[in-house]
Structures are given as structure tokens and as C-alpha cells.
Structure 1
């Protein structure tokens, strides 16, 4: 007959929940007791099962993850890093792809994660009603997008500072016609495009450069969108000598558009991206590097810490470092008449 968790607990003289914590490497068990439990479990031939652990701890050992796009690089990278941390700790991931307004509305109306997950990692920005719905679950909540909000641990970057460093770099090189490829049509309630646009406008004003609306184009945060946006900028009556793209994927699309117009970066147009995508170095892209994978991993670690230490006050915001990485796509503008 196969030994149960209760058999191990009775043999050691501890509770079943203590056995579960000890065998899963959870805190709250002394080394001496943990070693004794491991020895008895081995002697009895007991192997911890997910169902037994769940019964003993009251947990599902499942983390809910909400994403607006599964196939896009940023979200996929965050998700992959977070899943590795959860998996190592013995947790499964229950993924909800909420890319359409209908799917999103249905999710927040029914809240199918209730009683099915121990915590939620949201890679989308919930509005006030959606935030309240998630808080009603009574589980730890974390996100890697947007600013501070009640009930959530936010792991992110300073979008404003990153954009300022990119645009100031172009200004310092001598550019005065500086365009921007943004992502106005990004996920619902996504604040990143707004923060980066405001920083772009502030740096232009700081440098005494008048804003020209014709030098802005929506690139949809995709390579294809970036190509369309750069083509639009090149068609302006006075095209830019430099472009800041709010993501590396849009910047790569912009570089492709330049090639198709028989132009080069930085000889004809300087280009700066944002992210330090895994291919940014391959194409020589100057960019603002952010630790995308580490944001997902850190958010996952903080959620697990809240589960293991329910009485501890979780951090409201963790800001990750960013830096400007200079490569081959930026240079001073070539003399070619008024800019």
C-alpha cells in the first residue's frame, strides 16, 4: 500500500501541512525537522503529490497570468521568465489571453480564476473596475506594466527617463527634425505610449525645438507598423533627420523602410529604439535597454514571497534599471540644407 502524507506526518509527529512545507522547500520548518521528514518519507516510499500538497496547504499551486498579446516579444519574454520562476517553485501557470475587448469583458465579468489560482500576474493594465475585481479575489497581485495602483506590486521601469535619454542623445548630436514612431493603438489602458510621448515633447521643448505633428506616426508596436510609420514620415514635406521609435520592433521596421527607400541609418536618418530586443545588437540599433525578462522573473519572485510570507508587507513598486546603448544607427546629421 502506498504511503500517504498523513502516514509521514504521524510517523514524524507533525502535521500534514508541515510535511508538505518541508518536502516542497517552503519556509517555517526547521532544518532538523525537515531532515527527519525527508528521511521518513524516503523510508516509507512517500512522494509528494500535487493533490496531497493542495489539500494540506489549501493552495492550488497555480498562478493566473493575464496577457493582452501572447505572440508579441515583450509580453512573451516577460511571460517566459515568470513561468520559469513559477515552475521551479512547483507552480503551474493558468494563462488568459485577453487580446480582444470581448474576451477581456467576458473574463472580468465571470472572473474564471476565482478559487483556481493562488496569485495573479497581470501583463495588462486594468481599469478601476477591473482592478477592483482582481482585488476581490483576495490573492497577491503583481504587474510589469503601468504605474503604481492599490493592491498591486508593480515591477517596471521609468519610461519617461528612458525616453528623455534617447531623445536628448539625438538633440546632442545636432538633430532638430526629430520624429517619433509611437504605439497609440496599443493595449487598452496602456500608459507607456503616453508617458514616452510626453517625455519626447518635453525634451523638444527643453531644446527649443518646435513640435511638428507631421513628424509623429503610429507604428502599432510591431515591425510592420514601424515600417509603415517610417514610410509616412519620409513622405513629409520636411522629413526628419532622426527618429525615436518607442520600441525596438518598430525601430527595426523603420530600418527596413529606409532600406527599401535606398536610404541608410545613420547616414540619411538616425534611429533610436527602446527595449534592447535580442536582435538589436545584430542590426546595430542604438536603443534604451530595459531588463524585460528580469521584470517578469522579479514579479514572479515577489508573488511567491507574498505566498510564503503572507504577513509581510509587499513592495508597491520596484523600479528596474535602464541605460542608453549606443550602436551604429545614430550620428550627427549630414549637412543638407535647412533642417
Structure 2
């Protein structure tokens, strides 16, 4: 039979309020009484119920994570980092999955979904509308964004524009002048800003180098392997002349492009150099050059910031972008001279 707080109070010969105060470490409890309560609670195997703890502290010991997908590499790794840090501190993770970006449909994420369920919220790579953000701010919980900037929220993410510029400049420095682009798709761009940040940085870097932007060499791939392969097929078939190098807005699209190139007998890097962003788990085995980021570390830091705020600690606002690193592997090389 489950031991109740009333059972502990009766055995320790104190009130239930005293038991509650003693076990919560609150003041105005005699040290000897506190010690007796702890001894009795341990002897009887008393475990406070989650609802009792919530009523006593006003805390749910739960942090929510709002995520558009759970099957993408970045999201999965960031979730792991968040969960590791929360479990280390006795917190639970409550996942709010939108099941994709809804492709323009109205989302069902409101204040009522999170009220009294969570103590704080992490927003993964998703732009909140002004209405959604206002609703969340009304419940006065800490909110932080991970993976890309979200208006009105603190954020933990790389400088996506700088990362894309570094990838593009790497191809230019190798001597490539005919450079294509596999970018994030229209549905991605409607819902978060990372694809457009990377695309705009690619175009700006090309213009600074005085290089031509060929519209037929810019195709959307929606940040997935399958769509990357499909976009590559479009790029390879709709243009008589092929670029000598391609910047992909994500490693997953780049890996898809590698599959399609192999099917068509296009050699990498002899016929086509290729670079992505992320350092996906498959990037090193595939020999893919990339701009590496560490989503697990992003998740860890975001959870640390929220937990510190929940503990009432004064912490500096985290505004500096997370670090990234350009890694050259076998997929990039100088262009092959014409025969």
C-alpha cells in the first residue's frame, strides 16, 4: 500500500504541513524535527506524488519542446542534448510535434496546450507567428529557440549566413566559377528562416566574387535526402551545361545529390565538387565536405540556460552564435581542366 504524507506525519507526530516543509527544505522547521521527518519518511519508503510536488512548488518539473519534425538529423540530435541535460537535473521532456510544417495549414499550438503542463519551452527551428508568441508570453514561462533565430526568443544556433558563405567561398577558393545551389524548399522557407539565410548568403558571396547566378542551377530540395536526389535530377536534366560545383543548404540534400550523380555516372569530385552544411552522421563515411555544427551541444546549452533561469540564477543572455567549422573531405577539389 502506498505510504501517504498523512502516514509520515502520524508516525513522526507532526502535522502534514510540517512534513511538507521539512521535506522541501523550507525554513521555520526545527532541525531535530526535520531530521525526524526525514528518518521516518525514509523508513516508511515515502515518495511524494508528482501532483503533490507540483502543488507544493508550483513546478511541473517538465520542459516542453516544440518541433516540426522528429525524423530529421538536426532535430533528433538537438532533442538528445536537451533530454540529457533535463534528465541530469530531474526534469522530464514533453514533446509537442507539429507533424511537419503543415504546408500552410493552420497549426494547432496554443497557450492552452502548454498551460500548467510545462515550466519552460524550447522551440526547435520553427518560426512562431506573432499570435502564437503572444499567447506563450502570456503564460510567462522561459522560452528559447534552438537551430535558428525565432523572433522574440533568445536563441542557440550557428550564424547560418556565415556558415553558407564559408561553404560557398571554399568552392570559389578552389577555383570554381560555375557553381550551382540546392536550397531549402518553399515550405521550409515559409516556416523558418534558416533556408533563406543560407540561400541569401550563397547569392551574396557569389556576387562579391563577380560570379554569375544561373537560375537553372538553383533548385529546391527541402533539406531531405530524397528531395535532394530529386532536385539533383532536375538540375542535371534541365540544363545543357552542368556546373562544376554545387553548394547544398544541408548535408542530407548533398547526400541525395551524391546518389543521383552516381546513378548518372557523374564523378565526385572529378566532374563535380560538392559541399553541404551540418556534418551529418553519414557525411564523413560519404567523404562529403561540409560546414560542421553540433546540434547536441546546442540542445545541452539551451536546456542549461532554461534550468538556470528556472532556478532563479542571474545569467547573461546568450547572444553569440555557436561555433562552426569547415571540413574539407574528398567531395571538393579544384575544377578539372578542359580536355
After superposition, the Cα gap between the structure-2 partners of 1:60 and 1:238, relative to the gap in structure 1 and judged at 3 Å, is same
Q: Which residue of 2 aligns with 1:159?
A: 160
Q: Which residue of 2 aligns with 1:115?
A: 116
Post-superposition offset of 1:58: 1.0
Q: Which residue of 2 aligns with 1:193?
A: 195
How big is each residue's C-alpha offset from its partner over 1:195-254, in whole Å with a ceiling of 9 and x where there is no partner? Answer: 111111111111110211111000111001111111222221221100110101000001
- Say which is worse superposed, 82-91 or 58-67, in terms of deviation: 82-91
Q: Which residue of 2 aligns with 1:237?
A: 240
CA distance in 1, matches of 2:217, 2:130: 34
Larger radius of gyration: 2
Does the aligned pair in 1 maintain the 2:147–2:298 contact within 8 Å?
Answer: no
Q: Which residue of 2 aligns with 1:312?
A: 314
Post-superposition offset of 1:173: 0.5
Q: Which residue of 2 aligns with 1:16?
A: 20
How big is each residue's C-alpha offset from its partner over 1:271-318, in whole Å with a ceiling of 9 and x where there is no partner? Answer: 101000111111111000001111111111111111111x63561534
Select 1:139's aligned residue among 141, 144, 151: 141
- Say which is worse superposed, 115-124 or 186-195, in terms of deviation: 186-195
CA distance in 1, matches of 2:269, 2:195: 25
Select 1:217's aligned residue among 219, 224, 234: 219
CA distance in 2, matches of 1:178, 1:208: 12
The answer for unaligned runs of 5 or more in structure 1 is 23-27
CA distance in 1, matches of 2:22, 2:229: 58
How big is each residue's C-alpha offset from its partner over 1:181-203, in whole Å with a ceiling of 9 and x where there is no partner? Answer: 01123444311111111111111
CA distance in 2, matches of 1:201, 1:285: 22
Does the aligned pair in 1 maintain the 2:70–2:76 contact within 8 Å?
Answer: yes
After superposition, the Cα gap between the structure-2 partners of 1:165 and 1:39, relative to the gap in structure 1 and judged at 3 Å, is farther
How big is the alpha-carbon RMSD for the aligned residues of Structure 1 and Structure 2? 2.9
Q: Which residue of 2 aligns with 1:25?
A: none
2:274 aligned with 1:271: yes
Post-superposition offset of 1:127: 1.9
Q: Which residue of 2 aligns with 1:125?
A: 127
Q: Which residue of 1 aligns with 2:300?
A: 297
CA distance in 2, matches of 1:298, 1:111: 27
Q: Which residue of 1 aligns with 2:85?
A: 85
- Counting matched residue pairs gives 325
Does the aligned pair in 2 maintain the 1:17–1:56 contact within 8 Å?
Answer: no
Does the aligned pair in 1 maintain the 2:144–2:154 contact within 8 Å?
Answer: yes
TM-score when normalising by structure 2: 0.86
Q: Which residue of 2 aligns with 1:182?
A: 183
> Alignment partner of 2:186: what SS?
coil
Q: Which residue of 1 aligns with 2:94?
A: 94
TM-score when normalising by structure 1: 0.86
> Alignment partner of 2:206: what SS?
helix
After superposition, the Cα gap between the structure-2 partners of 1:295 and 1:38, relative to the gap in structure 1 and judged at 3 Å, is farther
